[in-house]
Amino acid sequence: MRMSQVLRQLQAEQSSSGRRPSLMERYADFLPVTDDTPKLGLGEGFTPLVHARTLGRAMGCPLLYLKVEGQSPTGSFKDRGMVLAVAKAVEAGAKAVMCASTGNTSASAAAYGAAAGIEVVVVLPRGRIAAGKMLQAHAAGARIVAVEGGFDDALQVVREIADDPEGGPAVTLVNSVNPYRLEGQKTAAFEVCEDLGGAPDYLSIPVGNAGNITAYWRGFGEYRAAGLVETAPRMLGFQAAGAAPLVLGHQVDDPQTIATAIRIGRPASGDMALAARDESGGLIEAVSDEEILDAYQDLARHEGIFCEPASAASVAGIRKVAAAGLIDPDATIVAVITGTGLKDPDTGATLVRPTLEAEPTAAAVRASLGW
């Protein structure tokens, strides 16, 4: 049996077994779960891989697919890693978890902490969190501390608190420096391989703190090592201009800009992201706000996928690299769409057109439409 058939059979078995397994059950062989790990799950994983026919064709990439992580329980890819990080924290006896965040990590930590029955503290850069993400942390009952500065400053604070056993109650840090986060997130690469029947030629992904690109690269590597796929993709990572270059790290101080999730000055997993780039023969580049917003609008208008601006960086990046002639038209490309657009109504306002007004009659509505 060919390897792609093995993968398809695996997928068929999973979807015909009646009950949808939790992410930890489904990939238990590849994850550090034990009999003592709490059975936590909100329906994470199993996100769709959508063929972006219109956008792909327009870019000269007819085999462009979107891994739509915005369909996760809290609306971002963070849930894959958070379920494991919180479950392992509970298994180890933690009473509280803590994170710094630009919004998605905190929304996910708040939800999984609520489900696990442990306290959640989130430290957020004041005034920079999209309204929907803020609301998620409030709704789940997290305690929220706003600090001056950017994400890098907030991460520094929570690392210090978690590292100091004398400083107060023991808390588990659930940022992506927690190893279980990346373990959980690597499962997205497994799903991509199962859906395509093999690894893609390219994997395009937004890069913020650089955890997710590291996790995908690990996931592809493990499926190859297990003999489930033969190849691994070239990893293409895209940061928001202002955050790049990845290697150097510098202050990011403009709170008004969009896509703050990928505008991070000192990515915590930067070295591993560079290794993923180099081992895969890929690249890490910056995309401008204009390029991001164009892709954000095009994804919504031409593919029906309303994502958050940071997520559109993966498509903006592919468009740029393809325009430079670097992509073979026969290549299979997966762009990761990391989160949903519903969390960020302020940037969403750029998509709003005037609402037509009419009396509540068929004739009046037709007239307002010019029909």
Determine how β-strand 49-51 pairs with β-strand 64-68: antiparallel
Q: Which is nearer to ligand F0G, 40 or 122 (CB)?
A: 122
Helix ranges, the chain (H) = 3-16, 23-26, 53-59, 78-91, 104-116, 131-139, 151-163, 179-185, 187-196, 211-225, 270-280, 289-303, 309-323, 345-348, 362-369
Please report whether residue 103 would count as binding ligand F0G according to CB under 6 A: yes
Q: Which is nearer to ligand F0G, 85 or 210 (CB)?
A: 210
Q: How far is the CB of 280 from ligand F0G (least distance, A)?
A: 16
Binding of residue 314 to ligand F0G (CB under 6 A): no
**Cis ω for the linkage preceding 206 (within 30 of 0):** no
- Chain positions 168 to 187 lying near ligand F0G, rule: CB under 6 A, are 176
239 binds ligand F0G (CB under 6 A): no
Q: Which is nearer to ligand F0G, 7 or 220 (CB)?
A: 220
Report the amino acid identity of residue 279.
E
| Residue 261 in the binding site for ligand F0G (CB under 6 A) | yes
SS3 87: helix
CB of 67 to ligand F0G, least distance (A): 12
For 71, what's the count of Cα atoms within 13 Å in the CB-facing half-sphere?
12
The residue among 232 and 313 lying less far from ligand F0G, judged by its C-beta, is: 313
Q: Is 113 in the site for ligand F0G (CB under 6 A)?
A: no
Among 132, 211, 242, 348, interactor with ligand F0G by CB under 6 A: 211
Q: Which amino acid is at 267?
A: P
* The one among 59, 123, 129, 207 contacting ligand F0G by CB under 6 A: 207
Per-residue binder mask for ligand F0G (CB under 6 A), 333-352, x = binder:
-----xx-------------
Those residues with Cβ within 8 angstroms of residue 54's Cβ, 6 or more apart along the chain or in another chain:
302, 303
For ligand F0G, the binding residue among 311, 333, 334, 344 (CB under 6 A) is: 311
Distance between CA atoms of residues 94 and 331, nearest Å: 46
Which residues ranging from 135 to 154 are in contact with ligand F0G (CB under 6 A)? Answer: 151
310 binds ligand F0G (CB under 6 A): yes
Least CB distance to ligand F0G at residue 36 (A)? 28
Closer of 63 and 97 to ligand F0G (Cβ) = 97
Q: Under rule CB under 6 A, which residues in 44-83 are in contact with ligand F0G?
A: 76
Q: What is the largest CA-CA distance in the chain?
A: 72
Minimum CB–partner distance for residue 176 and ligand F0G (Å): 5
- Taking the complex as a whole, how short is the minimal distance between the CB of residue 142 and ligand F0G, in angstroms? 13
**What DSSP letter does each residue of 17-78 carry, written as one string?**
SSSPPPHHHHTGGGS---TTS----SS-S---EEE-HHHHHHHT-TTEEEEEGGGSTTSBTH
Residues 6 or more apart from 325 whose CB is under 8 A from it?
A: none
Binding-site member from 31, 137, 210, 295 for ligand F0G (CB under 6 A) = 210
| Of 327, 322, 262, residue with least CA distance to 289 | 262
Residue 204 or 332: which CB sits closer to ligand F0G?
A: 204
Stretch that binds ligand F0G, among 13-21, 243-251, 281-289, 303-311 (CB under 6 A): 303-311
Q: Does 122 bind ligand F0G (CB under 6 A)?
A: no
Residues 268 and 177: beta-carbon distance below 8 Å:
yes
**Residue 248, CA distances (Å) to 23, 36, 174, 186, 284 in order:** 36, 41, 25, 26, 13
- As given in the structure block, the two tokens for residue 26 are 């489904």
Q: Return the range that interacts with ligand F0G (CB under 6 A); candidates 54-62, 139-147, 209-217, 326-334.
A: 209-217
Which of 74, 212, 280, 332 touches ligand F0G by CB under 6 A?
Answer: 212
Q: List contacts with ligand F0G (CB under 6 A).
A: 76, 101-105, 151, 176, 206-212, 261-262, 308, 310-311, 338-339
